[in-house]
Chain A
Amino acid sequence: MPAVENYHCPNALAPPASPGAARAMEAMRCGQFRDAIKLFKQLVKEEGPHWRDGLAQAYAARARELAAKGMYEEAQILLDNTAAQDGTVRDPLLYVHCLVKRSRHQKASEHALKYVGTGKLAVAEAARLGEVAAALSLAAPCRLDAAVDPHSERGKWLEQAAAARQALAAWLEGKPHEDIDPLLSRISMRSDFKAVRLILKALITAPLDADRARQLMDPVSPQSPFAALRFAVEAALAAPASDLSRSSSAASGPERSFLLEVNGLSQSGCQSLAQLVNAESSGPGSLFAYLIKQIEKERADDIRKACLSLLPRVPDRLSRFEKSFGPLSAFDKSRVLALAAETRRDWDAAERHWRAATASLEATGDAQPNLALGVIYRHLAHLAGAQDGIDEELDDAAVDYLERSHRSDPDHLPTILRLIAHYRAKNRLGDWSRLIEDTLARFPAEAAVLLAAVERAACAGDLNWAIELAHKLLLLDPINPTVRKRMIELRILLAREKMRANRPDLAEQEIAEALKLELSEAPSSPLRIAAAVIAMGNAGSSAAAARLREAVHLAGGGVCIWVQASLEHLLMGGIGDGSMLRRELKAAQKAPPTKEAILSIASAVDGDATREHGAAVASLIRGLQRWLLKGATLAWSADEVRPVVAMLRQAEAYQVLAAYAKQGLARNRSEGMWHFYRLIAETKGNACVLSEADAEELGDIADYAAHNGRLHDARLIWSFLDSADDRESAKDTDVDWHLDDLISNVISGSLMSISPGEVASLIARHGEAKAVKFVAGRLQKSPAGAILPAEKLRELAHEIVEEVMAEIARPPRARENRPWQQR
């Protein structure tokens, strides 16, 4: 609806003279302009001509309304009703707009000229209309009034118009810039024709200096009537010949014509290009049809390739394509259908067609098809959910495709690194080692491979080999901080071994080597602590103690760092006097605990190395019980506290655990994990003493957690409940390693490596049958694969999938007011 804010009563300050006038003004305010016109007409008739202005406003408002709907003729007729004796109308810009839209360019030009130099319009409106009149006077020249005083404003404007016309004509005739420049200098930069001068100057500058040409047109505003010409020149400046048709596809008709004409294309060239551009902008089907028609005119090979490239977007034209160019190969046909399926996001069909494409390629054994196979399998892995980062967890389908890609193209390093990371994450140690060894032989100087090999050697406990590999890595990349840090860690590990073997001299050597790798701007506190602990073990001097204090201070001090120092002392074999450490640890406990400090301690005692010293570590933690107890009042969430609970269970600090559970339940009674932690504390970690009701409740909590995707929590509870069965069975039978037990352990170990979450994801993504296939494949690769026949593995896989499906479909049980019992 057009705005009516501009409407005002001729006597706005005075009250309406009559009810009729009030109704007319109300109609204007409400946007009911037809009614307003009728009412004002009546007012003019009944109350006098002073209502003519109101009537004109109503006509103009209604005309705007109609023009907005595209009814230009009707709008123009309404505005004609507002015409004064000299032919000027109420809203001249709208009037000109209507005429232009009706292609009455000459009349529009003549009408716009009526207002030039008359002073009839407000300044802003006059400026806008002046420029419109200028553009129209060039596009549709009208006869100029010869009787005008050349010194009047109107006379000057007409003189400028003549100059602009001459300059434009000179450019169109292809005259050189020496001839055009004097004509341009006649156009004033303060006249309505300023834009013409700038654009023509840009056009004659463009062949010599495109940047300068662009700059010249900067003052031409995008709202100017000359803006379309400016944009066309800019488009011609921006588009080199190779981009011409493409960049013009988004342009308007005149702009496209301009682009083609100034680039010197012939009539037929313009026509062919226009046809191609039109076909392109009409969609792939039209373009395909256009190209097929060009077989005779253009190079058939390129036409075929262009059509083949379009086929995935118009797969229904496959038979038309084969009719014109002969049958497609099985590979190309499958590839086209696969890409077409991807276009419509039908992933199952895409996978099926890509598999068909690989099947047709696998028939040949050349290197090129193998590379192509690698590309397609990687693409399939990507479709199966494997994104490009190495850290993302892969599902079985993605891994299967990546393994196929690796077999087809064993030198593709990114695939290898993804598989290495996956095998490591999934604890597939055999595959991990084999792939690293194989890759190291292929890429002996590749940093990423060397880094993976360092990790593998360290994991296998072959520290000397790990250090040798890290050394090679440092030769390749001497300032890599990650490698230096890893090398320092390896040297510390080796120093621990030496200390435990009672060879402090060799341990000191290792630490001395590690200190050489330390960057002066980033001293390593674990290394300083290790060095000080060794010094204490060797000499036990006050200087060594001071060195340790300094190292702990460097790492930030506090209980957690003194715990780390104590752990280092333990890992170094506990040689030397540990009383200083105990004293310092006790003194540090005067500071109140924080979540960060407690979590740091939990993380420090969670390593593989510390696990070997379980009893000593437990004793160390128990020494912190009072301090840890204070930490129970901190606002822990059940997720946050998980590593702390693991640490307290490890140390058998059940009293502290009970306090944490009690505080947690006080904060959030509906959180099942706090109940679990309470029950661990109450039973002192012995699931055998759980009551039947408690065991059932824990089962429900675990199910609820699994159902909500908190598989880690569910596994923790299941593992606790299972520990009761293990203890019971241990009581019933002697430890007797019969073959059946061994097989059973192998199978259950293999089954444990397949999480319900993974299986659920497989079912959701690929359906039941495929999930069974993947699980069977996974079992085949596990230790169970070596001892069970394929048929049995399939049965097992089927059972696993059915179990997970039953779990997914399990109906909610409404019981007490606890979330895991309402599921």
Chain B
Amino acid sequence: MAAALDPFTTLGVDENAGDEDIKRRYLALVRAFPPDRDPERFQVYRAAFEALCDERKRLEAKLLNNSDAALARLRLRLLAEAKPFSARASKATLCALLVEGVARASAQGESLVEP
């Protein structure tokens, strides 16, 4: 999971969500990703919940930080059709990845710096 995301985006709640909505969403996420199974992800959700758990903190998040929530919503809409590993990559992409790998591997063999 990407670090330092907007807490609203991390929890997937609206900027105007209240205490109850936020708590419900947080508990749902913790149930889906329990700390014993994915501690790193749990810490991210926990930090986001802590940052939004009362009205003052939400105001702080909204007033003093640059919120990414709206941008995240745009991104989500673009990604709405996405389903992980639901499709196959194109041959061109696969070949490009293999060539990229060859370029890196042969550069390492020759002590050349591969950008």
At the interface, yes or no: A16 with Cβ under 8 Å from chain B?
no
Give bound CA distance, A225 to B104, whole Å.
7
Pull 6 A–B residue pairs with CB atoms less than 8 Å apart, ordered by A: A93-B110, A97-B106, A261-B89, A273-B79, A276-B78, A291-B74
Query: Whose C-beta in chain A lies nearest to the C-beta of B55?
Result: A371
Render A148-184 as a binary contact track against B, CB cut-off 8 A, 1 for contact: 0000000000000000000010011110000000000
Give bound CA distance, A265 to B113, whole Å.
34
Number of B interface residues, CB 8 Å? Answer: 58
Q: Which of A228, A240, A273 contacts B78 (CB 8 A)?
A: A273
Query: Whose C-beta in chain A lies nearest to the C-beta of B86?
Result: A264
At the interface, yes or no: A742 with Cβ under 8 Å from chain B?
no
At the interface, yes or no: A809 with Cβ under 8 Å from chain B?
no
Interface members, chain B 58-115 (any A CB < 8 Å): 59-60, 63-64, 66-79, 81-91, 93-113
The verdict on A229 contacting B103 (CB below 8 Å), with A240-B84, A263-B84 known, is no
Q: When the two chains form their complex, are residues B105 and A225 in contact, meaning their CB atoms are under 8 A apart?
A: yes
The verdict on A64 contacting B110 (CB below 8 Å), with A258-B97, A273-B79 known, is yes
- Which A residues lie at the B interface, using CB under 8 A? 2-3, 64, 67-68, 91, 93-94, 96-97, 100-101, 105, 108, 128, 131-132, 135-136, 138-140, 168, 171-174, 203, 206-207, 223-229, 232, 236-237, 240-247, 252-255, 257-258, 261-266, 269, 272-273, 276, 287, 291, 294, 298-299, 301-306, 309-310, 312-313, 335, 339, 371-372, 374-376, 379, 409, 412
Interface members, chain B 40-58 (any A CB < 8 Å): 55-56
Which residues of the other chain, A, contact B67 by a CB distance below 8 angstroms? 305, 309
Which residues of the other chain, B, contact A375 by a CB distance below 8 angstroms? 56, 59-60, 63-64
Give bound CA distance, A207 to B88, whole Å.
11
Which residues of the other chain, A, contact B102 by a CB distance below 8 angstroms? 96, 100, 108, 132, 135-136, 139, 225
The verdict on A101 contacting B103 (CB below 8 Å), with A3-B111, A302-B70, A409-B56 known, is yes
A328 CB, nearest partner CB in chain B, Å: 14
The verdict on A68 contacting B94 (CB below 8 Å), with A228-B104, A302-B70 known, is no
Query: Whose C-beta in chain A lies nearest to the C-beta of B73?
Result: A302
Q: Which of B12, B87, B103 contacts A264 (CB 8 A)?
A: B87
The verdict on A265 contacting B108 (CB below 8 Å), with A243-B2, A375-B60 known, is no
Which residues of the other chain, A, contact B89 by a CB distance below 8 angstroms? 172, 257-258, 261-262
Which residues of the other chain, A, contact B97 by a CB distance below 8 angstroms? 228-229, 232, 254-255, 258
Which residues of the other chain, B, contact A132 by a CB distance below 8 angstroms? 102, 105-106
Q: Considering residues A135, A371, A379, which has the most beta carbons from chain B within 10 angstroms of its beta carbon? A: A135
Give bound CA distance, A171 to B89, whole Å.
9
Q: When the two chains form their complex, are residues A262 and B84 in contact, meaning their CB atoms are under 8 A apart?
A: yes
The verdict on A131 contacting B105 (CB below 8 Å), with A228-B97, A265-B81, A273-B79 known, is yes
Q: Which 3 A-B pairs have the closest CB atoms?
A: A305-B70, A228-B101, A97-B106
Q: When the two chains form their complex, are residues B99 and A309 in contact, meaning their CB atoms are under 8 A apart?
A: no
Q: When the two chains form their complex, are residues A91 and B110 in contact, meaning their CB atoms are under 8 A apart?
A: yes
Give bound CA distance, A305 to B14, whole Å.
12
The verdict on A379 contacting B64 (CB below 8 Å), with A172-B89, A261-B88 known, is yes
B58 CB, nearest partner CB in chain A, Å: 10
Query: Whose C-beta in chain B lies nearest to the C-beta of A311?
Result: B66
Give bound CA distance, A128 to B88, whole Å.
29
- Which B residues lie at the A interface, using CB under 8 A? 1-2, 5, 9, 12, 15, 55-56, 59-60, 63-64, 66-79, 81-91, 93-113
Give bound CA distance, A273 to B82, whole Å.
11
Q: Which of B99, B109, B113 contacts A139 (CB 8 A)?
A: B99
Q: When the two chains form their complex, are residues A261 and B93 in contact, meaning their CB atoms are under 8 A apart?
A: yes
Dominant SS among interface residues on chain A:
helix
Which residues of the other chain, B, contact A294 by a CB distance below 8 angstroms? 74
Q: When the two chains form their complex, are residues B106 and A100 in contact, meaning their CB atoms are under 8 A apart?
A: yes
B34 CB, nearest partner CB in chain A, Å: 15
Which residues of the other chain, A, contact B84 by a CB distance below 8 angstroms? 206-207, 236-237, 240-241, 262-263
Q: When the two chains form their complex, are residues A68 and B70 in contact, meaning their CB atoms are under 8 A apart?
A: no
A386 CB, nearest partner CB in chain B, Å: 15
Q: Which of B85, B108, B110 contacts A263 (CB 8 A)?
A: B85
Give bound CA distance, A291 to B103, whole Å.
36
Give bound CA distance, A625 to B107, whole Å.
80
Q: When the two chains form their complex, are residues B56 and A264 in contact, meaning their CB atoms are under 8 A apart?
A: no
B4 CB, nearest partner CB in chain A, Å: 10
Which residues of the other chain, B, contact A91 by a CB distance below 8 angstroms? 110
Q: When the two chains form their complex, are residues A372 and B110 in contact, meaning their CB atoms are under 8 A apart?
A: no
Q: Considering residues B1, B77, B110, which has the most beta carbons from chain A within 10 angstroms of its beta carbon? A: B110
Which residues of the other chain, A, contact B76 by a CB distance below 8 angstroms? 241-242
Q: When the two chains form their complex, are residues B107 and A97 in contact, meaning their CB atoms are under 8 A apart?
A: yes
Q: When the two chains form their complex, are residues A372 and B78 in contact, meaning their CB atoms are under 8 A apart?
A: no
Q: Considering residues A299, A312, A375, which has the most beta carbons from chain B within 10 angstroms of its beta carbon? A: A375
B88 CB, nearest partner CB in chain A, Å: 5
Q: Which of A64, A101, A229, A371 contacts B94 (CB 8 A)?
A: A229
Q: Considering residues B59, B73, B82, B87, which has the most beta carbons from chain A within 10 angstroms of its beta carbon? A: B82
Give bound CA distance, A105 to B99, whole Å.
8
Q: Considering residues A174, A237, A241, A304, which has the most beta carbons from chain B within 10 angstroms of its beta carbon? A: A241
Give bound CA distance, A264 to B87, whole Å.
5
Which residues of the other chain, B, contact A139 by a CB distance below 8 angstroms? 94-96, 98-99, 102
Give bound CA distance, A611 to B67, whole Å.
57
A378 CB, nearest partner CB in chain B, Å: 8
Which residues of the other chain, A, contact B100 by a CB distance below 8 angstroms? 228, 252, 254-255
A540 CB, nearest partner CB in chain B, Å: 60
Q: When the two chains form their complex, are residues B101 and A224 in contact, meaning their CB atoms are under 8 A apart?
A: yes
Give bound CA distance, A201 to B79, whole Å.
26
The verdict on A97 contacting B110 (CB below 8 Å), with A207-B85, A226-B101, A374-B56 known, is yes
A222 CB, nearest partner CB in chain B, Å: 9
Query: Whose C-beta in chain A lies nearest to the C-beta of B1?
Result: A243
The verdict on A135 contacting B98 (CB below 8 Å), with A91-B110, A100-B103, A247-B2 known, is yes
A456 CB, nearest partner CB in chain B, Å: 26
Which residues of the other chain, B, contact A299 by a CB distance below 8 angstroms? 73
A437 CB, nearest partner CB in chain B, Å: 24
Q: Which of B56, B79, B87 contacts A242 (CB 8 A)?
A: B79
Q: When the two chains form their complex, are residues B83 and A264 in contact, meaning their CB atoms are under 8 A apart?
A: yes
Give bound CA distance, A415 to B97, whole Å.
55
Which residues of the other chain, B, contact A172 by a CB distance below 8 angstroms? 88-91, 94
Q: When the two chains form their complex, are residues A302 and B105 in contact, meaning their CB atoms are under 8 A apart?
A: no
Q: Which of B60, B71, B101, B107 contacts A229 (CB 8 A)?
A: B101
Give bound CA distance, A54 to B64, whole Å.
68
Q: Which of B12, B66, B70, B98 contacts A339 (CB 8 A)?
A: B66
A483 CB, nearest partner CB in chain B, Å: 26
Q: Which of B15, B104, B111 contacts A227 (CB 8 A)?
A: B104
The verdict on A96 contacting B106 (CB below 8 Å), with A241-B82, A262-B85, A409-B56 known, is yes
Q: A97-B106, A224-B101, A245-B79 are in contact. List 19 more A-B contacts (CB 8 A).
A: A2-B111, A68-B113, A91-B110, A96-B102, A96-B106, A97-B112, A135-B105, A138-B95, A139-B102, A172-B90, A228-B100, A254-B96, A254-B97, A262-B87, A264-B87, A265-B82, A306-B74, A371-B55, A372-B59
Give bound CA distance, A245 to B9, whole Å.
14
The verdict on A263 contacting B82 (CB below 8 Å), with A252-B100, A254-B93 known, is yes
B97 CB, nearest partner CB in chain A, Å: 5
Q: Which of A64, A108, A257, A273 contacts B93 (CB 8 A)?
A: A257
Which residues of the other chain, A, contact B70 by a CB distance below 8 angstroms? 301-306, 309
The verdict on A309 contacting B93 (CB below 8 Å), with A138-B98, A254-B100 known, is no
A621 CB, nearest partner CB in chain B, Å: 53
Which residues of the other chain, B, contact A258 by a CB distance below 8 angstroms? 89, 93-94, 97
B110 CB, nearest partner CB in chain A, Å: 5
Which residues of the other chain, B, contact A94 by a CB distance below 8 angstroms? 106, 109-110
